[in-house]
Structure 1
């Protein structure tokens, strides 16, 4: 939850002082904002050649259920290994997600204007990634590579510690894994760490990349995948989502510290909450109204803001009939329980309409969009289908 600058901030408020991101159709925060502000899509159509090169066989390409669409980061294989002190062999075995995240962590710190070696405090990092899918079992490049090196190059647990080691970060380095809420939970955990004094500047985010996305997807009736490659969040014609690559990191500081040092502040986090709905839902994979309502109410209480003062909600927005309806119901009930009068206007949107569902990076994608909206003072349009 973000809000524009105001003289009455609380000591517990957290400032967003740096951003680094790479999403389909946009490399960097400026390009990302331009795409969002103009209502453009980063989701693209895949050619038969694209899909065949990614491993799609003739049967898949001929399947009438194949939808040739995805949000792709085409330059994920590019990495300045010499800059980070890696050999060609080390780079070859490393999951591209870990390479991308390391570069983005450097850019996020650079965006803050703070050098970790000179920063008067500890810098922490909280992040997660999608399971690695880049390696083929018969790839000769991995012959003779030790099991320990392969695990460190791939395993989710090593994502934040790799960045901490290469960038000299002495605060906590925690791997956060919570499926598609991973990177948003990482932001919440980082805010709590700042409040507790565990660190004085925190990087939080996530990354998701897979070569399998370049094969398109097989859409089945009643499934969660879009019928035509478009993500129509909160639309009566919504038919599901499209998978997408993504990477996002935000740098956070206690607001008082950021203001004292004259940091550029994109937005301010006034409150957050996290929970789980347990078994109070139709199935393991289904969303539930009570759990979502409860966490929204908790976030509003933590932020101590009136619901009528909120003009926009960046939602999960999977563009599925069940998911979107439950999310709107939970938001409506939570806002009413918190005292919303219904006299104001609150717009609703989701960045998935632009870039698709970025799995472990989905939450931070929406968070960065919201922070940039606050920074620029604009509510952008939803891309046309």
Structure 2
């Protein structure tokens, strides 16, 4: 019999952690908004290659003739691109950095911007908790054959630019973040374990804000893989989680970062809360009754789930969605459902949906957990349960209890007697499990009404004219897609939540529509004001002339 868990309202829960910002790059999605649209529309972002594409990418022609060679992979768009100038890297250093480090740094900055904290994060007690893909997916391993110098020596640019140890501390250094900075490695559960550690650091007071997530960028991108009977790879290039046709997973790439604060602090500071983490737990399977080091273990997963539910202080029956690990492997899926069934206990029929983002984007390894968190947050925000792809009939090895069901079509998530809640499960080879309980964001406290100004000033800035133009286009697109947003709030966030750079433009407008028109127009003189400001305070020099009041060329030398 399960022990009774004392319940608590969200605002009274000491373990509550607010998610105030998110950023990511996933196959088929250059940002979180594109990722949301793909999830809503049931898009599979696994690319099937032609022989010509693979030959051009350098794949051996003999390999293409092998019937077990699967010509598919989840592609990460612009994985080789990096805004080195923004982070003040030389072209030489940027070229030898692992794309995992480059893109995680970019996403960390974007997550702070999404949180409205890019303007004041520098110098703050902000922690960074992250992990990257292993040697089987790295830039270093794939390119050493062509560039032997890439390995470098200990503490060289080559070493620091490619070793997993430096993923978190690079972000801390470049963004001047002074909280704990930890590199986490637990295989496929890495990023969810990183999120757990970030929450613990916040709750113990080690930091006031935290970045947490993971990154995997497989290099080369355009290549297939060899299927082997009994291995974990999919036979047909699709990830059919929980389905009778499940044959394995498809490994791919992805980057995800979330920004965390204690809930009470986020509410005090007026942060836009996207969702709340009620509880987290991690553990390891150990070896008792476990068939092998590689195998998943239901009792270990169940224990982590129960611990997280206890920390969250909720009844399992109030969880309406579980984002499962769901790799579509022969042993993995049935084991996970057994673990969930044991942890959650008896439930009303069809009361909890199950899904797996891997059916959309493949398995991004170290970024799998944070991809699941981001999907669950988007689901809570949109009050929608997204479809799990390629599911038609249940895996015969899975005895689905009455409470759980695989959600194969997009459906609304109606309000119930308790707030909407979701859970995310993640596990890795070696037995490290992680489980997180999420709840939809609480209602924002009522703000006193203020007199609305007739006009507001939208301020944008960037480090180059080209970047400023691109930023203006992004704001224009956002305002077009969200015309109901408070234009005053948009202007406030642009001014106070973003860092200010040398190249700037200001638009005086009365509404979102007015701002869109001005950003789209080419002749906005008099309303849109652009210019370049001096970077930093003016430099002062002194000239001491000695006995004479002047001498030849003194002004020129000064």
Which TM-score tier does this pair reach, normalised by the shorter chain? over 0.9
Separation in 2 of the partners of 1:126 and 1:297?
Answer: 24
Query: Closer, same or farther in 2 for the Cα pair 1:261/1:11, shift >3 Å?
Result: same
Give the whole-Å Cα distance in 2 for the aligned partners of 1:317 and 1:138: 35
8 Å contact from structure 2 (residues 22, 374) kept in 1: yes
CA distance in 2 between counterparts of 1:118 and 1:39 reads: 36
Superposed displacement of residue 49, structure 1: 3.2
Aligned to 2:302: 293
1:50 deviates by 3.2
The equivalent residue for 1:134 is: 139
Query: Is residue 2:28 matched to residue 1:50?
Result: no
Partner of 2:6: none
Q: Tell me, yes or no, if structure 1 residue 354 matches structure 2 residue 363.
A: no
Match of 1:82 in 2: 85
Q: How does 1:22-41 map to 2 (within 5 A)?
A: 22-41=25-44
Q: 2:337 corresponds to which residue?
A: 328
The answer on whether the counterparts of 1:70 and 1:229 sit within 8 Å (CA) in structure 2 is yes
Deviation at 1:137, TM superposition (A): 2.6
Q: Does 2:274 correspond to 1:266? A: yes
CA distance, structure 1, for counterparts of residue 166 and residue 215 of structure 2:
13
Tell me by how many angstroms 1:307 deviates: 1.0
Q: Using the alignment, how far apart are the partners of 2:14 and 2:310 within structure 1?
A: 16
Report if the CA contact (8 A) 1:54-1:211 is conserved.
no
Distance 2:356 2:217 in 1: 20
- What displacement does 1:343 show? 4.7
Aligned to 1:257: 265
- Are the equivalent residues in 2 in contact too, given 1:116–1:167 (CA < 8 A)? no
What is the CA distance between 1:144 and its match in structure 2? 11
* Paired residues of 1:93 and 1:142 also in contact (CA < 8 A): no
- Structure 2 vs 1, CA of residues 124 and 62 (structure 1 numbering), >3 Å: closer, same or farther? same
Measured in 2, the distance between the counterparts of 1:152 and 1:143 equals: 11
Query: Does residue 216 of structure 2 align to residue 195 of structure 1?
Result: no
Name the count of aligned residue pairs: 377
Distance 1:212 1:379 in 2: 34
CA contact (8 A) 2:19 2:273 kept: yes
Whether the 8 Å contact between 2:122 and 2:176 is mirrored in structure 1 is no
1:313 and 2:322 correspond: yes
Question: In 1, Cα distance between the equivalents of 2:61 and 2:123?
Answer: 58
The aligned residue for residue 160 of structure 1 is 168
Residues 1:382 and 2:379 are matched in the alignment: no
Cα distance per residue 1:70-114 (max 9 Å; x no partner): 111131111111111011100111111110011001001111111
Partner of 2:377: 371
Question: Bigger shift: 372-381 or 208-217?
Answer: 208-217
Q: Secondary structure at the match of 2:280?
A: coil
**Residue 216 (structure 1) aligned to one of 224, 245, 248:** 224
Contact 2:29 2:35 in 1 (8 A): yes
Deviates more, 1:48-57 or 1:274-283: 48-57
In 2: Cα distance, 1:141 partner to 1:218 partner:
26
Q: In structure 2, how many angstroms separate the alpha carbons of the residues matched to 1:161 and 1:241?
A: 32
Query: What do you get for the CA RMSD once the two structures are aligned?
Result: 1.9
Contact 2:123/2:178, CA 8 A, preserved across alignment: no
**Compared CA separation, residues 378 and 134, structure 1 to 2 (3 A):** same
Structure 2 residue matching 1:228: 3-state secondary structure: coil
TM superposition score normalised by structure 2: 0.65
What's the CA shift for 1:265?
A: 1.1
Q: Which runs of 5+ in 2 are unaligned?
A: 1-8, 392-558
Q: Cα deviations across residues 278-315 of structure 1 (Å, max 9, x unaligned)? A: 11311111101110111111111111111111111000
CA deviation after TM superposition for structure 1 residue 139, in Å: 3.8
Change (3 A) 1:146 1:325: closer
State the match for 2:505 in structure 1.
none
CA 1:186–1:53 in 2, change beyond 3 Å: closer, same or farther?
Answer: farther
Listed one character per residue, the Cα deviations across residues 248-301 of structure 1 (whole Å, up to 9, x for unaligned) are 000001001111111111111000100000113111111011101111111111
1:247 to 255, 258, 263: 255
User: How far apart are the structure 2 equivalents of 1:284 and 1:52?
Assistant: 37
Which whole-Å CA distance do the structure 2 matches of 1:229 and 1:250 have between them? 29
Residue 42 of structure 1, CA deviation:
1.0
Give the whole-Å Cα distance in 2 for the aligned partners of 1:215 and 1:368. 27
CA pair 324-151 structure 1, distance change in 2 beyond 3 A: same
Is the partner of 1:248 in helix, strand or coil?
strand
The alpha-carbon deviation at position 140 of structure 1 amounts to 5.0
Distance 2:300 2:292 in 1: 13
Query: Aligned-pair distance for 1:51?
Result: 2.5
